[in-house]
Amino acid sequence: AQKITQTQPGMFVQEKEAVTLDCTYDTSDQSYGLFWYKQPSSGEMIFLIYQGSYDEQNATEGRYSLNFQKARKSANLVISASQLGDSAMYFCAMKKLSRGSTLGRLYFGRGTQLTVWP
């Protein structure tokens, strides 16, 4: 079974500072993808960043970067230069890429509520 663990129920960061949101995962699959989604109070899940298990470099998307440590099975999200609009729930998710798996089915963690203060 796939399992995503986010151990930080809530995180606080001051505007313009960087913050790291933790994510560890458990899978026996060799081929998988890792995602981070942002969910503001409106409810929509917004895709932020993706890392494939075979990608050698850590993914980056603007102010978002993924600190991927395969041996530790961790995929932490780093947000640089935090903005007030970054306040939201953040979910780490994983999908299997192996044959026979439901393509696109995501397994989510419980999320981390990030609050950015001025």
Partner 1 sequence: DTGVSQDPRHKITKRGQNVTFRCDPISEHNRLYWYRQTLGQGPEFLTYFQNEAQLEKSRLLSDRFSAERPKGSFSTLEIQRTEQGDSAMYLCASSLGMPRANTGELFFGEGSRLTVL
Applying CB under 8 A, which residues contact partner 1? 4, 33, 35, 37, 42-47, 50, 52, 91, 93, 95, 102-111
- Nearer to partner 1 among residue 47 and residue 117 (C-beta): 47
**CB 35 → partner 1: shortest distance, Å?**
7
Q: Helix, strand, or coil here: 97? A: coil
**CB 27 → partner 1: shortest distance, Å?**
15
**CB 76 → partner 1: shortest distance, Å?**
17
76 neighbors 21 (Cβ within 8 angstroms):
yes
92 neighbors 71 (Cβ within 8 angstroms):
no
Compute the distance between CA of residue 84 and CA of residue 80 in angstroms, rounded to an integer.
12
